[in-house]
Amino acid sequence: MLTQYHIEIMLTALGERFSPRAIAAVSNANIYQDRIFGQFGHDEFHFDNNAFAKSYAYIEEQRALTLAAMNTRDVLSAWAAFGRMTHTLQDFYAHSNYITLWLDRFVGQTHPASSEVDPVDLTLIQHPNLHSGRTYYPFEFLYFIRSTRKFSLRILPRDSHAWMNLDAPEQGFKFDYAMQAAIKRTVIEYEKTTLGFSEEMCKLFLDK
């Protein structure tokens, strides 16, 4: 997803829970994953190239780092790890065909509202046809340049990141479903991460 949408997801999902300075720190760590050196050789940050196992492992690694940091009351490291974790889980909906598979269930009917999307449907998460966008370099670069975007789509295959991504509203109506799923999943993973926190740890983590 583009930076502005990661920020929007963070604010909608968790903006009320965290203090302004805490949500800023978490969001900064989230969007820093899309820095140029985070884009290449780090499929696990973004669920790119069908790196499902690596991405799930990365999420759990960052969750464990969040807990470890909180156990030593190192809240800055906890915010950073938690922010990195949320980036990956949000990209799942923008870079895989999960939303398409979910919507396919309603072929011939009106689609339910995007607010109805189920972000953790196990049959879809384990679906044999679940896949994520592949990055075909160097042609993928042409997709990121406005003037060569159309040309890149003519040469890139349909399973490319360029064709599959739901990174921005211009990708069509499915973007809204990806946003809603990412918001819901962020809340679910926040609750899972903070489940074992003591009251004092919660206060420190939320900075309230």
Contacting residues toward Zn ion, per CB under 5 A: 34, 46, 91
Minimum CB distance to Zn ion, residue 176 (Å): 18
Cβ distance to Zn ion smaller for residue 44 or 91: 91
Cβ distance to Zn ion smaller for residue 35 or 192: 35
Cβ distance to Zn ion smaller for residue 69 or 94: 94
* Distance of alpha carbon 21 from alpha carbon 35, whole angstroms: 21
CB neighbourhood size of 190 (10 A): 19
The percent of the chain in helix, strand and coil, each rounded to the nearest 5, is 65, 0, 30
CB neighbourhood size of 162 (10 A): 22
Minimum CB distance to Zn ion, residue 48 (Å): 8
Cβ distance to Zn ion smaller for residue 78 or 182: 182
Q: Is 96 helix (H, G, I), strand (E, B) or coil?
A: strand
Secondary structure letter of residue 49 according to DSSP: T
Cβ distance to Zn ion smaller for residue 45 or 139: 45
Omega before 138 cis (within 30°)? Answer: yes
Minimum CB distance to Zn ion, residue 133 (Å): 11
Minimum CB distance to Zn ion, residue 168 (Å): 12
Give, in order, the Cα–Cα distances in Å from 61 to each of 10, 109, 152.
20, 40, 35
Residue showing the smallest CB distance to Zn ion in the complex = 46
Minimum CB distance to Zn ion, residue 106 (Å): 28
Please, which residues have CB within 8 angstroms of residue 176's CB and are 6 or more apart in sequence?
A: 114, 169
Cβ distance to Zn ion smaller for residue 70 or 166: 166
Minimum CB distance to Zn ion, residue 114 (Å): 21
Residue 160's DSSP bridge partners are: 134
Q: Using CB atoms within 10 A of its CB, is residue 99 exposed (0-12), middle (13-18) or buried (19+)?
A: buried
